[in-house]
Amino acid sequence: MFEGLKGPGESQSKDGSSLRIGIVHARWNTTLIEPLLAGVISRLKASGVDPSNIIVQSVPGSWELPIAVQRLYSASQIQASTSSGASGDLLGSATDLPSLVVQGSGSGAETGSKGDGSLKASNTGSKKSEGPFDAIIAIGVLIKGETVHFEHIAEVTSRGLMRVQLDFGVPLIFGLLTVLNEEQGRRRAGLTEDGHNHGEDWGDAAVEMAIKRKQWN
Ligand code: DLZ
């Protein structure tokens, strides 16, 4: 049945309505990051994750992803353990991508797009969840042609992300594309006819792993 399967197959876990998901993306290679991030958010919302429970932050490049993910998760733990929500500012939704805005760290959130409107979501009736993130997604794109230390950045960033995942015991979805050239990246961001947006897979993986983690606890 799974012979020749490329990709994650069908997920059994679909209901993300109680989940809180953090996203950290690099800003290098923004033209690829943007559709990948859009793919992630569209799948999270399709699984029922409330926009107010999707927190997006950005860092300059992939190298910075591990420390940002580590601190973001830590901040969500602190926030969950203090009734005053003293660290709330740390978790304010923000993304520096020019055409993608996720707003509202308070009672609701609105995700808007300047482009085709596909990311628009209403904050009406939003159900903001409390507690630390159930999963975090780290997104970056490393293009071999653009850096001689491509392998080095790819390796240490991957190791750093795995370390954070195991140290904290939180599912950390690996959205780090390592491609040989921009065309390969465009295919994996779903920007070509034969392409597929890997961000969609990462969104689905986050929901599945977040639900599994709740069951394992
Ligand atoms: C410096 C650099 C280069 C050359 N290439 C990339 C890249 O393709 N993708 C990416 O996410 N980041 C790149 N960076 C930036 C580093 O990840 C990092 O942000 C800087 O070295 C500052 O620490």
Got the DSSP string for 121-174? ---TT--PPPSS-SEEEEEEEEEGGG-TTHHHHHHHHHHHHHHHHHHHT--EEE
- Asked if residue 174 belongs to a domain, the reply is yes
Q: Which tokens go with 119?
A: 């990311």
Would you say how long the chain is, in residues?
217
**How many domains does the chain fold into?**
1
Q: pLDDT by residue (tens digit) across 120-157?
A: 333 445 677 778 999 999 999 999 976 668 889 999 99
Residue from 25, 28, 146 to probe ligand 1 pocket by mutation (most atoms less than 8 Å from CB): 28
**Residue 24 Cβ contacting ligand 1 at under 6 Å:** no
- Supply the pLDDT for residue 94: 52
Q: pLDDT by residue (tens digit) across 20-41?
A: 999 999 999 999 999 999 999 9
- Asked if residue 10 belongs to a domain, the reply is no
- Asked if residue 26 belongs to a domain, the reply is yes
The residue that leads in pLDDT, 56 or 8, is 56
Average pLDDT over residues 162-179: 97
Return the SS3 of 110.
Answer: strand
**Residue 177 Cβ contacting ligand 1 at under 6 Å:** no
Indicate which CATH number applies to the domain containing 203: 3.40.50.960
Indicate which residue's Cα is closest to atom 12 of ligand 1. Answer: 61
- Asked if residue 77 belongs to a domain, the reply is yes
**Residue 61 Cβ contacting ligand 1 at under 6 Å:** yes
- Asked if residue 190 belongs to a domain, the reply is yes
Q: What atom of ligand 1 comes closest to residue 63's alpha carbon?
A: 17
* Structural domain for 75, as ranges: 21-216
- Asked if residue 161 belongs to a domain, the reply is yes
Query: What ipTM was reported for this prediction?
Result: 0.99
- Supply the pLDDT for residue 182: 95
The question of whether 25 is a catalytic residue gets the answer no
30-46 helix and 198-216 helix, angle to the nearest 10 degrees? 50
- Percent of the chain with pLDDT strictly greater than 70: 74
**Helix, strand, coil % over all residues of the chain, rounded to 5:** 40, 20, 40
Query: Among residues 149, 152, 196, 198, which one is catalytic?
Result: 149
Indicate which residue's Cα is closest to atom 5 of ligand 1. Answer: 147
28 CA distance to ligand 1 centroid (A)? 6
Q: pLDDT by residue (tens digit) across 109-122?
A: 333 333 332 333 33
Stated pTM of the model: 0.83
- Supply the pLDDT for residue 83: 53
